[in-house]
A and B are shown apart, each in its own frame.
Chain A
Amino acid sequence: MTNHWIDFKNSDCILIMGSNAAENHPICWKWVTRAQEAGGTVIHVDPRYTRTSSKSDLYVPLRSGSDIGVLGGMIKYIVDNDLIQKEYVLHYTNASFIVSKDFSFSDGLFSGFDEAGRKYDKKSWDFEMDENGVPKRDMTLQDPRCVYQILKKHYDRYDIKKVSAISGSPEDKLLAFYKAYTATGKPDKSGTILYAMGWTQHTVGVQNIRAMSIIQLLLGNMGVAGGGVNALRGESNVQGSTDQALLFHIIPGYLATPRANWPTLEEYLKANTPVSKDPKSVNWWQNRPKYVASLLKSFYKEADLPTAYNWMPKLDAGQNASWLVLFDKMLKGQFKGFFAWGMNPAASGADSNKTREALSKLDWMVNVNIFDNETGSFWKGPGMDPKKIKTEVFFLPCCVSVEKEGSISNSGRWMQWRYAGPKPMGDTKPDGDIIYELALKIRELYKKDKGAFPDPILGLNVDDWGDGHVFDPHKVAKLINGYFLKDTTIKGADGKETVYKAGSQLPSFVMLQADGSTCSGNWIYAGSYTDKGNMAARRDKTQTPEQEKVGLFPNWTWSWPVNRRVIYNRAGVDLQGKPWAPNKPVLAWDAANKKWLIDVVDGGGDAGAKHPFIMQKHGMGAIYGPGLNDGPLPEYYEPLECPVTEHPFSKTLNNPTALIFADEAHKRTTCDPRFPFVCTTYRVTEHWQTGVLTRWLPWLTEAQPQMFCEMSEELAELKGIKNGEKVILENPRGQLWAIAIVTKRFKPFEVMGNPVHVVGIPWHYGWVWPKDGGDAANLLTPAVGDPNTGIPETKAFMVNVKKA
């Protein structure tokens, strides 16, 4: 989230799209309700009428996977009716930038497409630079090659008739939605978007969010109270695990994973440190060498930086090591061993039958979890012959989150310290202890038996992990914050020099050094655990009257970065530093005292001195985004499995760069009369993820006992299905049973003149427990993914539904 949970209350219009916030994030509804009570409008756009819809002021149905059509239509509505927040768009976004002469777009494809390689050469998408190396701009926004005109032309095709025809959303509802949301383009109004997996789990997942980001920039909704782009995280600590680099392409602090084509630290830094010639661009990532050096020192305290970098494991050039690829390689026998740690891939990964078969190709698997699950017990699951499976499975029982101390970072980037509650049951251990003991044991074996390339193992800084026996979350939190390795003198902005002693905690990431004199396990968390103490453990509700207006609570826990509560807040004020919305300011420039008030300012310097989007090389909000793998502007593509053979915007049916596995074409279907219905997956309030925790809790399985399939009354009649009956869902990947919930909350969509039925299933069930609960929704989902993230398209695919 750019903003935070409490901030929802400040919004004039809350759009919930790609999310069922009321059910899946029940606590957030407190703040959504506050916004409504203050006169705000809540809009829910979803294939299914949910509890979120029931509490919204406007519900707009849309067919799963047609979001970019609907959002593209809103962009056109904004441009056609000139509803942009002009000053904001002009000064804070790249709308005025001139794009290369070589850029073009034709029939669903951007320039530079390599059909055989299913990828783009992005060179032609670049901005045109002036003689100083700064992007050329046209402040009149009239140049046909400026971003604003390219945007206008691009979305000119997205008229409401076409949008309605492909999405199945009624025109009057779309218009009501556009009108209500775009009213937040007024400087003193703000609109926010709450989204979740309903947007990300598509082959256009990243572009769904990009489309909304463009809308937010056009309406001036970034950096303001009640605005922003807000991903509702499904697990309490998904934000934290992402920050700590759970994903393959980054190392902690959103730094690129070292690759074989950057064999030295010098080459790595050259490739990953952006340069801006614009003096007003903060270009924050120019500091990357400091963050990388400090991270390397946190891993390898005694090694010099080039050696430490050399010790880092590296991906091959261009290698995609995301989830779907990993399991594809596993299936092809390219893995010997596998740790399934706090994960249940046999139920959580797309195409469960593929995943489960892949597990059978391993020599060994270690399953660290609280309960038995479909992954650890895959070898005795449905359709498996234990005699034929060689995989040796080890189960390590770990303790539950409430039994251990440490921090979680919530969706609003608040790092919140939690204390251990009850003692762990039996011999279960915290994950930290399991990892720590494993590391100590591996080091012992390397010391004893040597082995290949022992240096990265023996050189690892495990002193900061514990006392030699027991894992210490405080020590690790202090290492993540970072500390000085040598006595260091630092000159402040005021010219004053301060000496920091070796061993003292870093007060902020501003002090991080590129020469190896500081260590920090994650630069964005620098400032969280200083010599003043554990900031995440703060529980102080005091705030100034201005902070109280927006519910900022700056002394409650700690928010990354530097306790900033609303990121990009510099865009929340005009060039003079005056808040766009004086009644709910997040930031304000005190000209007399030359200082920023309310929140911690993004960037620094006086009002108007710096461009506001400091993480962007050119300092501007990216209406045009030339970095993604599937285009600088979101374009409409159908899901890889879809109920139509064409759509109204181009002849390019699907995302041409989507992640697919060529040898699986026979497992995918489009417009196949055998599998005529769109299926989508989702969650219920009562269960969590694959249900590994919740299916074992009797009160929760009492409330949601079994796999179900929601469908319209019309479809039920068509298929002769009665409410509460058992049905079978199937496609070439698999089959599962579910109890039919026949409901008015699903309605058939009229798509390109034809009726299209959408059905929905939850993904929380698995064959292990409860005995008559059903199996995983992912038995049906395809192993195809977004070209940028690799996230699977589990929100829109094709199935058949029949009576059991």
Chain B
Amino acid sequence: MSGKSFFVDLTKCTACRGCQIACKQWNKLPAEETRNHGSHQNPMDVSAITYKTVHMKEVADDKGFMAAWLFFPEQCRHCTEPPCKMTADAYDDKAIYQDEATGAIIFTEKTKDLPDFDEIREACPYNIPRQNAETKVMTKCTMCLDRVQNGLKPACVQSCPTGTMNFGDRDEMLALAEKRLAEVQKKYPDAVLGDAESTRVIYLYQADPKSYHPYSVADATMPGLMNRKAMFAKLFGSKSRSKA
């Protein structure tokens, strides 16, 4: 499998949110009207005008002292076999397409005519698709395809100061991910790569992915998704070696 991929080394993320802001800037997305909810995180979730947001999770030890503060820059994973597209294809195979050169999954204007947004959203194991309430167009991260096709890195990768966000040919990213996993495991024995085989956004977690975010990795035990997961496994072969 070729194309492009992201490698997101969460052990280096400081939640500076350069990626979150750069995403808004490049994609000309307006700001949400937010309130402080008792957290540094904001927006609290992805939305029709927020393709990327950094989640923050405090983890305490058994005495109540901070053991870790986990940061999770959430975005579409650009699945290699995208269930959103497979679902949409039943109605219109041009609504969601997979870019041949990069593997990017792109929601087009035609998504507004898909009959059931919830069906698309539920098809996604990562709870990513959102819908513009007025236009009904479905939205999510575009892999900055317009940048990538012009030889640039996605805006979020360009903005990252620490080396958390990486982007390149899939083989290179997989190799980098495996190399970093080996290094990181010396300090964090529980470190894992999330869904490396089935997505193009490969996260390196220092701890259980579920401690970062409920949708960090595809959940085989989640009702409603199990069948779909099973179906994938059957169709494309299950490769859960690097998944938590």
Which residues of A approach B to under 8 Å, CB–CB?
22-23, 26-27, 29-30, 33, 37, 49, 51-55, 59, 684-686, 698-706, 708, 713, 722-725, 739-745, 747, 772
Contact of A745 among B17, B25, B58, B183 (CB under 8 A): B58
CB of A700 within 8 A of CB of B162, answer: no
Q: What B residues does A744 contact at CB under 8 A? A: 58, 60, 64-66
Contacts of B40 in A (CB 8 A): 684, 704, 741
Q: Indicate if the CB atoms of B162 and A698 lie closer than 8 Å.
A: no
Once the chains bind, are A29 and B162 in contact (CB under 8 Å)?
Answer: yes
Contact B69 A701 (CB under 8 A): no
Q: Is the CB of A705 within 8 A of B35?
A: yes
Given contacts A30-B161, A30-B163, A59-B66, contact A705 B36 (CB under 8 A): yes
B151 at the A interface (CB under 8 A):
no
The 20 sampled A-B contact pairs (Cβ below 8 Å) are A26-B14, A27-B161, A29-B161, A30-B161, A55-B12, A59-B66, A684-B40, A686-B17, A701-B31, A701-B34, A702-B42, A702-B43, A703-B20, A703-B21, A706-B35, A724-B38, A725-B38, A744-B64, A744-B66, A745-B69
- CA distance in complex: A37, B12 (Å): 11
Residues of B within 8 A of A700 (CB): 21
Given contacts A26-B161, A51-B15, contact A739 B60 (CB under 8 A): no
How far, in whole Å, are A698 and B34 apart by their CA atoms in the complex? 10
Q: Does B65 lie within 8 Å of A747, measured CB to CB? A: yes
Asked if A724 contacts B14 (CB within 8 A), the reply is no
- Kindly list chain A residues whose C-beta atoms are within 8 Å of the C-beta of B43: 702
CA of A23 to CA of B12, assembled, Å: 13
Complex contacts, A53 vs chain B, CB 8 Å: 66, 69
Task: Say what secondary structure dominates the interface of chain A.
Answer: mixed
Judging by beta carbons under 8 Å apart, are B31 and A51 in contact? no
- In the complex the two chains form, what is the Cα distance from A698 to B49 in whole Å? 13
Q: Decide: A698 and B69 in contact? CB cutoff 8 A.
A: no
The answer to whether A699 and B16 touch (CB under 8 A), given A30-B162, A30-B163, A739-B38, is no
In the complex, A54 Cα to B21 Cα: how many Å? Answer: 22
Closest to A705 in B: B34
- CB pair B38 A33 closer than 8 Å: no
A52 to B66, CA, bound (A): 13
Chain B residues whose C-beta falls within 8 Å of the C-beta of A742 in the assembled complex? 38
Question: Which residues 31-53 of B have a CB within 8 angstroms of A?
Answer: 31-40, 42-43
For the A-B complex, the count of residue pairs with Cβ-Cβ distances under 8 Å equals: 105
Whole-angstrom distance between the alpha carbons of A50 and B53 in the complex? 19
Contacts of A27 in B (CB 8 A): 161
B63 to chain A, nearest CB (A): 10
**Does B68 make an interface contact (CB < 8 A)?**
yes
Residue numbers in A under 8 Å from B162 (CB-CB)? 26, 29-30, 33
**B163-202 vs A, Cβ < 8 Å mask (1 yes, 0 no):** 1000000000000000000010000000000000000000
How far apart are A737's CB and chain B's nearest CB, in angstroms? 11
Are the CB atoms of B65 and A706 closer together than 8 Å? no
B20 CB to nearest A CB, Å: 7
Inter-subunit contact B68/A54 (CB<8 Å): yes
Taking CB atoms, residues of chain B closer than 8 Å to A684 are: 40
Known: A702-B34, A706-B35, A741-B38. A23 touches B69 (CB 8 A): no
Question: Smallest Cβ distance from B47 to chain A, in angstroms?
Answer: 11
Q: How far is the CB of A21 from chain B (nearest CB, A)?
A: 9
- The 8 Å CB contact of A724, one of B12, B32, B37, is B37
Name B31's contact: one of A699, A743, A747 (CB within 8 Å).
Answer: A699
A50 to chain B, nearest CB (A): 8
Contact A698 B37 (CB under 8 A): no
Give 9 closest A-B pairs by Cβ, nearest first. Answer: A724-B38, A698-B31, A723-B38, A54-B69, A702-B31, A26-B16, A739-B36, A22-B14, A706-B36
Asked whether any CB of chain A lies closer than 8 Å to the CB of B30, the reply is yes
